[in-house]
C-alpha cells in the first residue's frame, strides 16, 4: 500500500519525538523507541522515501548533546530524528497550559475544565514558531510536511511567514467541537485561520469534519466548501484547502501475532486460574477525565444493584495508566476513582469469595495489556468523548476466538465504524450502561461471534497502513472522487450513531 504514495521526502512533526530520551544511572543518554500505531505506521514510510521526524525529546536538558545522541543512534535508519528544544516555562505554558488546560478540555466538550490563561496562548504561538524554525531549517521545497495534533495547530501559519512553500498536511487526533463550543475559545478566529493555512486537514470522523466545516462557514468570510466522500475542498480566498475524515487505526496483523504469543497465552491462563468461573470485564484507560471512568464505575454499581444474579459471576478489572499528574484536575480525578472503587468493593465484596473490582494504577507491559485484552470476555470502553479510541480496536483485534463483547461509547470516534458490532451506549446514561453490561453477560456465543467478526473485518481492512496511505494520497490526488467513504462508515444519521 505504501508504495502507491509519491516518493517525496516526508517530514513528520509531532509534539514528542517517537523515542524516549533519558539519562541512565551511568549519566549516559539512553534512547528507547516509542511504541504505538503511529510510530509503527510512519517509520516504514520514512525509511522508504527518506525523511525526518521533528519533535520535543521529552527533556529540557541541553539540546546539543541530545541532537548528537539521536543522530548517532539513528545513523543507519534511513531517516533523521531532529529535536526541538523547550524550556521548563514553555513546557508548562505550551504543553500543560494551552494544549492540555485549554484545547484538550474544550475540544472534548468539557469547557468547564478550561483555564483560558492569556499567557498560555502567547507561549503556544511562540513554541509553534520554534517548531516552524526547526522545520524550515530542515526542509526542502519538494518535501511533504505532515504535522500532528492539537499542540501544533499554528505551525503552518508560522511556516508560511518564514517563506516555506512546501505542501503541509495536518491531522487532528482528538475531536473537533461543534460551533457553539468552539466559539467559547478567546482566540477562535486566529486558530481557525491558522488551520486554514494547511493544504490538507485530516479529522478522525465525519462528525469532526462536519463541525469544522460548520465553524468555517460561520466564521470565515468568502469560504465555499464542496465535494462528497472522504475528502472535501474548501476555497478560501484564492487558496484551496482539502478537508478529510481519516479514521486512525492499528497495525492489525502485528496485534494478532503478538496476542497469540506464548507469553500472552500463559498470562491469560494464570488470570483465569486466579479469577475462575466468572466473566471478566476490562476497563483500561489513561488517567483522564475524558475517559468517563467515574461514570463507568457508577454504571457497574448500578448493574450490581439491579441485576443481583451478576454477583460473583462478573469481575471488573479497571486499569488506570498514570498520565499528566502535574495538572491538578488529574490528581483530583485519581482520588475520586479510588474512593468510588473503595465504596463499591466495601458494599458488595463477599469475604474470601468475591471482590467486584480489581483496580490497578500503573503502566502495563505490552504482554500484560494483550493478556488482559484476551482474558476479558467483555470490554467497557466508555469515554465521555474521544477522538478515536485505539483500545477499542486493539481489544477487537486481540479477540482471536471472536467471542468477546465490546461495549462502546457512542461519543468515541470508533463508534461510527464499529456500530455494527459493538453494544453502543451513552456513557452519561448510568442505567443504559448497566443494561448493556447485563446484555453482554447473557449474550449467546453466536451473537458474540457475529458482532465481533464484523468489527474485526472492518479493523483489518481499514488498518493503520490504510490510514497513512489515504492521508498521503489525499494530499496530492488530482481526482478526489477516488476517495469514497469507508464502507462500514456510512453514517445513517447526522450524528453518526443510530437513532430510533
Ligand atoms: C489520542 C486520542 C486517538 C494504554 N495503556 C497502556 C498502553 N496503552 C496504549 C494503548 C493504546 C494507546 O495507549 C491509547 O490510545 P487511545 O486511542 O485509547 O487514547 P489516547 O492516548 O488518548 O490517544 C485518541 C489516539 O490519539 C490516536 O489518534 O485514538 O482518541 O485521545 O494504543 O494500547 N500500552 C502499554 N501499557 C499500558 O499501560 N504498553
Domain boundaries in the chain? 10-248+469-489, 253-460
For residue 413, the ligand 1 atom closest to its alpha carbon is 30
Nearest CA owner, ligand 1 atom 37: 364
DSSP state of 363: -
Nearest CA owner, ligand 1 atom 27: 173
From the CA of 262, how far away is ligand 1's center (Å)?
24
Residue 476: CB atoms within 10 A of its CB come to 15
Task: Cite the DSSP H helix spans in 313-463.
Answer: 328-348, 366-375, 390-397, 414-418, 430-442, 445-461
Question: Average of pLDDT values for 42-49?
Answer: 82
Grid coordinates representing 493?
444519521
* Domain range 253-460, CATH architecture: 3-Layer(aba) Sandwich (3.40)
From the CA of 260, how far away is ligand 1's center (Å)?
21
Grid coordinates representing 137?
531549517
Burial class (CB in 10 A: 0-12, 13-18, 19+), 346: exposed
**Pick from 421, 359, 426: which is nearest to 395 by CA?**
421
Lowest mean pLDDT among 103-107, 396-400, 489-493: 489-493
For residue 248, the ligand 1 atom closest to its alpha carbon is 28
* pLDDT per position as a tens digit, 283-322: 999 999 999 999 999 999 999 999 999 999 999 999 999 9
- Kindly list the catalytic residues: 173, 386
* pLDDT per position as a tens digit, 78-111: 888 999 999 999 999 999 999 999 999 999 999 9
Res. 1 pLDDT band, cuts 50 70 90 = very low
Pocket test for ligand 1, best of 40, 99, 205, 390 (most atoms within 8 A of CB): 390
Shared fold status for 10-248+469-489 and 253-460? yes
* pLDDT per position as a tens digit, 432-461: 999 999 999 999 999 999 999 999 999 999
Burial class (CB in 10 A: 0-12, 13-18, 19+), 354: middle
Pocket test for ligand 1, best of 36, 282, 371, 391 (most atoms within 8 A of CB): 391
From the CA of 285, how far away is ligand 1's center (Å)?
8
For residue 394, the ligand 1 atom closest to its alpha carbon is 33
Q: Which residues line ligand 1 (CB under 6 A)?
A: 36, 173-174, 248, 284, 286, 321, 363-364, 366, 369, 386-391, 394
From the CA of 85, how far away is ligand 1's center (Å)?
25
Question: Average of pLDDT values for 372-393?
Answer: 97
Pocket test for ligand 1, best of 39, 291, 387 (most atoms within 8 A of CB): 387
Report yes or no: 145 and 198 within 8 Å, Cβ to Cβ.
no
Provide the edge-to-edge strand list for the sheet that holds 423-425.
357-361, 314-321, 279-286, 378-381, 405-409, 423-425
Model confidence at 235: pLDDT above 60: yes
From the CA of 333, how far away is ligand 1's center (Å)?
18
Nearest CA owner, ligand 1 atom 33: 391
Model confidence at 20: pLDDT above 70: yes
* pLDDT per position as a tens digit, 352-362: 999 999 999 99
From the CA of 37, how far away is ligand 1's center (Å)?
9
pLDDT of residue 490: 58
Model confidence at 33: pLDDT above 80: no
For residue 319, the ligand 1 atom closest to its alpha carbon is 38
CATH superfamily of the 10-248+469-489 domain: Glycogen Phosphorylase B; (3.40.50.2000)
Task: Pick left, alpha or beta for residue 402 (phi over 0 → left; psi -120 to 50 → alpha; otherwise beta).
Answer: left
For residue 365, the ligand 1 atom closest to its alpha carbon is 39
Nearest CA owner, ligand 1 atom 15: 390
For residue 175, the ligand 1 atom closest to its alpha carbon is 30
From the CA of 217, how far away is ligand 1's center (Å)?
32
Beta strands in 144-203 (DSSP E): 144-148, 167-171, 200-203
Amino acid at each position: 500500500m505504501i508504495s502507491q504514495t509519491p516518493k517525496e521526502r516526508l517530514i513528520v512533526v509531532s509534539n514528542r519525538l517517537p523515542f524516549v530520551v533519558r539519562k541512565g544511572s551511568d549519566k549516559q543518554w539512553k534512547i528507547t523507541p516509542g511504541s504505538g500505531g503511529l510510530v509503527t505506521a510512519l517509520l516504514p514510510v520514512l525509511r522508504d522515501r527518506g525523511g525526518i521526524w521533528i519533535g520535543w525529546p521529552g527533556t529540557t536538558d541541553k539540546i546539543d548533546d541530545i541532537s548528537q545522541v539521536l543522530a548517532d543512534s539513528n545513523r543507519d535508519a534511513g531517516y533523521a530524528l531532529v529535536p526541538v528544544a523547550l524550556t521548563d516555562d514553555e513546557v508548562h505554558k505550551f504543553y500543560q497550559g494551552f494544549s492540555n488546560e485549554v484545547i484538550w478540555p474544550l475540544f472534548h466538550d468539557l469547557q468547564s475544565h478550561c483555564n483560558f490563561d492569556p499567557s498560555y496562548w502567547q507561549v503556544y504561538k511562540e513554541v509553534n514558531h520554534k517548531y516552524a524554525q526547526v522545520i524550515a531549517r530542515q526542509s526542502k521545497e519538494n518535501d511533504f510536511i505532515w504535522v500532528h495534533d492539537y499542540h501544533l495547530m499554528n505551525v503552518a501559519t508560522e511556516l508560511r511567514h518564514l517563506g516555506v512553500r512546501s505542501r503541509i498536511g495536518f491531522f487532528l487526533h482528538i475531536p473537533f467541537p461543534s460551533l457553539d463550543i468552539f466559539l467559547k475559545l478567546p482566540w477562535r478566529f486566529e486558530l481557525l485561520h491558522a488551520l486554514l493555512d494547511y493544504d490538507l486537514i485530516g479529522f478522525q470522523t465525519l462528525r469532526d469534519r462536519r463541525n469544522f466545516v460548520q465553524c468555517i462557514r460561520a466564521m470565515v468570510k468568502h469560504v465555499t466548501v464542496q465535494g462528497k466522500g472522504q475528502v472535501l475542498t474548501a476555497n478560501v480566498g484564492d487558496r484551496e484547502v482539502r478537508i478529510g475524515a481519516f479514521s486512525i487505526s492499528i497495525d492489525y496483523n502485528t496485534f494478532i501475532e503478538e496476542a497469540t504469543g506464548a507469553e500472552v497465552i500463559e498470562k491469560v491462563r494464570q488470570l483465569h486460574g486466579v479469577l475462575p468461573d466468572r466473566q471478566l470485564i476490562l476497563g483500561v484507560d489513561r488517567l483522564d477525565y475524558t475517559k468517563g471512568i467515574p461514570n463507568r464505575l457508577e454504571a457497574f454499581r448500578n448493574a450490581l444493584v439491579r441485576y443481583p444474579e451478576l454477583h460473583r459471576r462478573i469481575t471488573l478489572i479497571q486499569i488506570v495508566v498514570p498520565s499528566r499528574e502535574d495538572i491538578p484536575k488529574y490528581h483530583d480525578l485519581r482520588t475520586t476513582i479510588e474512593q468510588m472503587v473503595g465504596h463499591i468493593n466495601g458494599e458488595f465484596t463477599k469475604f474470601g469469595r468475591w471482590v467486584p473490582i480489581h483496580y490497578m494504577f500503573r503502566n502495563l507491559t505490552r504482554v500484560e495489556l494483550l493478556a488482559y485484552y484476551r482474558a476479558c470476555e467483555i470490554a467497557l470502553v466508555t469515554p465521555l468523548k474521544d477522538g478515536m479510541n485505539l483500545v477499542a480496536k486493539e481489544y477487537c483485534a486481540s479477540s482471536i476466538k471472536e467471542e468477546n463483547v465490546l461495549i462502546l461509547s457512542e461519543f468515541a470516534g470508533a463508534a461510527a465504524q464499529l456500530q455494527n458490532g459493538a453494544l453502543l451506549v451513552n456513557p452519561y446514561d448510568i442505567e443504559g450502561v448497566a443494561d448493556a453490561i447485563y446484555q453482554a453477560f447473557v449474550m449467546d456465543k453466536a451473537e458474540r461471534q457475529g458482532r465481533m467478526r464484523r468489527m474485526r473485518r472492518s479493523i483489518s481492512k481499514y488498518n493503520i497502513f490504510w490510514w497513512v496511505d489515504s492521508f498521503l494520497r489525499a494530499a496530492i490526488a488530482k481526482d478526489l472522487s477516488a476517495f469514497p467513504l469507508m464502507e462500514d462508515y456510512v453514517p445513517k444519521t447526522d450524528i453518526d450513531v443510530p437513532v430510533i
